[in-house]
Structure 1
Amino acid sequence: MTVRTRFAPSPTGLLHIGGVRTALFSWAYARKQQGVFVLRIEDTDLERSTPESVQAILDGMHWVGLGYDEGPFYQMQRMDRYKAVLKDMLVTGTAYHCYCSREELDQMRAEAEARGEKPRYDRRWRPERGKQLPEIPAGVAPVIRFRNPIDGVVAWDDAVKGRIEIGNAELDDLIIARPDGTPTYNFCVVVDDWDMGISHVIRGDDHVNNTPRQINILAALGAPLPIYGHLPMILNADGQKMSKRRDAVSVVDYSEQGILPEALLNYLARLGWGHGDEEFFTLEQFVEWFDLKNVSPSPSRFDRDKMLWINQQHMKAADNARLAELTRPFLTKLGCDTEQGPALPAVIAMLKERVSNLVDLAAQAGYFYRHEAAPAELAAQHLNEEGRARLARFRAILAQTEWETAALSAAIKTFVAAEGVKMPLIAMPLRAAVCGTTQTPSIDQVLALLGQQEVLKRLDAVLNA
C-alpha cells in the first residue's frame, strides 16, 4: 500500500501554527514512507472562505518549505462529484430527505433538554419499514441526512490516541447536504479521502468527534477506511487554547518576528513528539526519525523562550548569504540601504551568534548602514570633554593605520598603553561615536568592516559637532 497523507485547511484566515504542525507531521510521515503528500483546500464554507485566505495558506506552505506532491485540490471544484454520490446514497437508502424547519429543530432541542437528554434530531423523516412519514410541506427545500446506524459502536485504533469506541446511539443522523444542495464538511471530507486514496488521516484532536461519523459514511459507501491519528492540542504558556487575541498563532506572525522557517518546524515538531533528548535538528533528521507511535496524546505548551533558543541555533548554523537575504527586508524597514556599506553577509557573520531572531539581527546591523548619534545618556558618559579629546588623538592615529583587523587591534593597544588608560576608556567612546551604541562585537573587527573612510567620517561628525 502506498502511503498517502493530506493536509486539508479551511481558507477562513491565516495559516495557523497548529495547522502547520499537522501539515508537518502528515508531510513527514509521507516522506518517511516514500508516500504522497496531498494539499486540499476545504473551501465549502462560502461565508467565511476568501481568496486571500487561500493565498495565505499557499504562501504559508511555501514559506515553511513543506512541498506537496498533489494539489492543491479545491472542494468547490468537486461539487458535481459530491452531488453524484449524494444521489446514489438517496437511491440506496443510506441517506434521506428531511423537511424539518428551524422551529421544529429548536423545539426538539428544548424538549430533549427539558428531559435532561442530549439534544438531537428525532429522526422523524428517517424512512423505516412500516413507518408513516409526515406529509411533505409545500415550498420547503429539504436537507439530506445520513442514515447513521442506530445500534453498535464505531471503533478505530487511533495511531496516536489508541483504541477509541463511540456508541452509534450517541450519533445523530448528520446533515450531509444543505437545502440549496451544497454538501457539508463531514460529507465532502469523506468523499475526498476516498477519491484521493488517503491512507492516513493525520489531524488535530478537535476532529475526534467527526471521525465516527466519517467512518460510518465511508462504510455506507463501501469505501476503505484510512488509519486515523489525532494530534494533541497546542496550548499557550498559561495552559489555554491558543487564540488570535492573546497569542501569535499564524505563520505570518512568526515570519514578521524574524523566526526562520526551519526553526519553527523544528520547534513545532517537538510539541507532541520527541526523539530521545534531541532538541535541535534538521528537517531531514526529523523525517528520518519520525514515527506516529512517538507522538504523545497529551497537549503541549508553547514555550516562546525555547522556540527562540532553537531559532538561535538555526541562525548560527545558517549560511551567511541566505541569512543576509532574509535579514535585508528588516533592515530596509529600519531605513537602511544595504547597498551602501559593507557586504551584508560579512556583517551577518559577525553578529548572528549574538541574537535569537532576524529582527534583533537587523537592529544590531543597522549601524553598519547608517550613522546615528549616541543616546544622550551614552554621550554624556563616553563622549564628554575628556572622551572627545582622547578620540581626537586616536583619530589622528587611525588616519595613518593600515586598515585590517590585526593592525587596528595593535593600534588600539599601543594607544591605551601610551595614554596610560584601560581599554574601555578608548573602546567605549569609539563605539559610541562610530556606532551610536556601546553594544558591539570587538571594536577592531567593527572598524575593519566599516572601512577607514566611513570611520573617519563618523568620527569627524562627532568631534566637529
Structure 2
Amino acid sequence: MSDSSPAATQVVTRFAPSPTGYLHIGGARTALFNWLYARGRGGKFLLRIEDTDRARSTPEATEAILKGLTWLGLDWDGEPISQFERRERHAEVARQMLANGTAYKCFSTPEEIAAWREANPRQPFQSPWRDAADLPLETDGTPYAIRLRAPREGETVIDDAVQGQVRVANDQLDDMIILRSDGTPTYMLAVVVDDHDMGVTHVIRGDDHLTNTARQIQIYDAMGWPRPVFAHIPLIHGEDGKKLSKRHGAVGLHEFAALGYPAAAMRNYLARLGWSHGDDELFDDAQAREWFDLPGIGRAPARLDFKKLEHVSGHHVGIMPDAELMAALDLFLSETGTDPLTQRQRDRLVAALPALKEKAKTLPQLLDQARFALIDRPVEVDDKAAKALDSVSRGMLSALTAAVQHASWTRDELEGAAKQVAEENGVGLGKLAAPLRAALAGRTATPSVFDMMTALGREESLARLQDQTDLAG
C-alpha cells in the first residue's frame, strides 16, 4: 500500500456534500473512497456540510445525508462541520488577501460586468479596478466585491493523483470574486479555507470539480498554504454509458437500501466502481481498507451494473453471520415501513437462515424464501399449490405424519422417512414433495421441504401436515 503524503503527516480526508437533496450514489462512493483512504492509513475522515446556499439547503437533506452515511457504515471523526457557520472566518481570509495584495476591491456593477462580457465574449472578465490607483473612499458606502489577484501569465498546474498533470493557462482564468459585495464569501474561497483549517491532506472528489481546482490552487498559493493532494475520480454512468440519472433506476443511496442490498454489499460494490485491485471482485472491509489506493482508480467513467451489484449482494448475504443478517433485516423492515418480526417469527427465521441465505441475493428475496417461516396456521394455500392436494396426496401426508411422529427431526431422517412413504405408495419422492410443500408453505416455490421442516420444528410441521390431512375426509 503506497502513500503519496509525507510519512510524518497524518492523512486527513473529508466528504463535503451540499444538503440540497438525497445522498446520490455518486456522492456515497466519493465518501467511501475518502473513508477507505483515511481508515487504511490510520488517518481521519471528516464530514463538512456545505450549506452556504441557504435557499436550497434544508435540515431534512442534512439529516438524510447523515442517515445515509450511517447506514452505509461510514463513521466520521468529530462533529459534522457547517460551512455556513464559518462564514466569518472565510471573510477574514478574504481581508487578509486584500491586505497582502493578493486580492483587490472591485467596484464594478453587475451591469458594467455584463456589458464588458457582451463586448468581449471570448475573454475572461478583466476588472478595471485591478490596478486602479484611485479607489472610492470606504466611508462613502460604495459597494465592492473582493477579487483574487490571479496571475495573468504562465500556467496553473494541477498534479492530480488520478488524472495526472493538468495544465491551465492563467490567461484563461479571471480574477474570481472571493467575497461578495454583501459580505458573503463565495464557495471557491470557503472550500479552500475549510480544507486548510481542517488540515485536509487529500481532496478526493468527482472529476466534475477539476475545473474548480485550478482556481482553488491560486487561493492556496496566494495565502502561502500547502496544497493538498488532489484526486479527481470519474463520474458514474448508467449501463448505457450516459450520465447517471433517474431514467436508469435507483440513483439515491436510500433507494438501494430500500431495494434490500445490504450495506456490506454496497461498500464492496461501490469500492469496485471505478477502482480495482487486480482481479479481486469480492472482498470485505478489512481487505478494502488495506488495498485501497489512489493509483488503482481509473480515469474512465464507471458504469452502474445492477447484475453485478446483485451478484456482489448475493455473496455478502451468503457469508454474513446470522446475527448481522438479522440486524440488516430488522433495519430493512423498519426503513420500508413493514411490521417488525414477532419473537416466534424471529426464532423460525434464525433456524431457517443456514438453508436460505446462500440462495438469496437481496434481503427481500431472503424474506420471500423465508415466507413459510413467517406465516402462521392455518396456512393459506394458493391455487397452483392446491392442485397437489388431492385425496391421495393427503393420504400420503397422513402416512408421513405417522412415520415422523417420533423421528429425531434431523434432515437426513426426515428425508429417509419421506422416501419410504413415497416408495410404499409407488411414487417418486417428487410426488410427495409437492403436497408436502403446499402443506408447509402454501405455494410451489419454496426451499427444500426438509429444510422447511427442520426450521419449523416438530410441533409446527406436524400441525401443518395435520391441518391438511384433516381435510382428506
What is the TM-score of this pair, normalised by structure 1? 0.91
**Could you tell me which of 74, 83, 89 is aligned with 1:75?**
83
What is the one-letter code of the residue matched to 2:384? Answer: E
Is the alpha carbon distance of 1:363 and 1:285 closer, same or farther for their aligned partners in structure 2, counting shifts above 3 Å?
same
Is the alpha carbon distance of 1:188 and 1:334 closer, same or farther for their aligned partners in structure 2, counting shifts above 3 Å?
closer
Alignment partners' CA distance in 1, 2:74 and 2:339: 32
Is the alpha carbon distance of 1:336 and 1:75 closer, same or farther for their aligned partners in structure 2, counting shifts above 3 Å?
closer
Give yes or no for contact 2:72–2:264 (8 Å, CA) kept in 1. yes
Alignment partners' CA distance in 2, 1:227 and 1:335: 48
Is the alpha carbon distance of 1:331 and 1:83 closer, same or farther for their aligned partners in structure 2, counting shifts above 3 Å?
closer
Where structure 1 has 5 or more consecutive residues not aligned to the other structure, the ranges are: none
**Could you tell me which of 334, 339, 346 is aligned with 2:343?**
339
> How far did residue 259 of structure 1 move?
1.2
What is the one-letter code of the residue matched to 1:159? Answer: A
Aligned to 1:446: 452
Aligned to 2:131: 128
Aligned to 1:281: 283
Give yes or no for contact 1:271–1:301 (8 Å, CA) kept in 2. yes
Aligned to 1:373: 380
What is the one-letter code of the residue matched to 1:411? Answer: A
Moved more, 84-93 or 273-282: 84-93
Residues 1:8 and 2:11 aligned together: no
| CA displacement 1:200-225 (0-9 Å, x = unmatched) | 11111011000000000111111111
What is the one-letter code of the residue matched to 1:437? Answer: R
What is the 5 A alignment of 1:88-167?
Answer: 88-113=96-121, 117=122, 120-124=124-128, 126-128=129-131, 141-167=143-169
What is the 5 A alignment of 1:36-435?
Answer: 36-113=44-121, 117=122, 120-124=124-128, 126-128=129-131, 141-330=143-332, 337-341=341-345, 342-371=347-376, 372-380=379-387, 382-399=388-405, 401-435=407-441
Is the alpha carbon distance of 1:373 and 1:122 closer, same or farther for their aligned partners in structure 2, counting shifts above 3 Å?
same
> How far did residue 90 of structure 1 move?
2.4
Is the alpha carbon distance of 1:57 and 1:334 closer, same or farther for their aligned partners in structure 2, counting shifts above 3 Å?
closer
> How far did residue 343 of structure 1 move?
3.9
| CA displacement 1:272-331 (0-9 Å, x = unmatched) | 211111111111111211221121111111111111111111111110121012113556
What is the one-letter code of the residue matched to 1:89? Answer: M
What is the one-letter code of the residue matched to 2:219? Answer: I
The RMSD of aligned alpha carbons is 2.5
Secondary structure in 2 matching 1:349: helix
> Percent of aligned pairs with the same residue?
42
Alignment partners' CA distance in 2, 1:28 and 1:329: 24
> How far did residue 173 of structure 1 move?
1.7
> How far did residue 133 of structure 1 move?
6.7
Residues 1:32 and 2:40 aligned together: yes
Give yes or no for contact 2:36–2:289 (8 Å, CA) kept in 1. yes
| CA displacement 1:87-108 (0-9 Å, x = unmatched) | 2222333223334444444434
> How far did residue 433 of structure 1 move?
2.1
Where structure 2 has 5 or more consecutive residues not aligned to the other structure, the ranges are: 1-7
Alignment partners' CA distance in 1, 2:428 and 2:161: 65
What is the one-letter code of the residue matched to 2:130? Answer: P
Secondary structure in 2 matching 1:451: helix
Give yes or no for contact 1:159–1:230 (8 Å, CA) kept in 2. yes
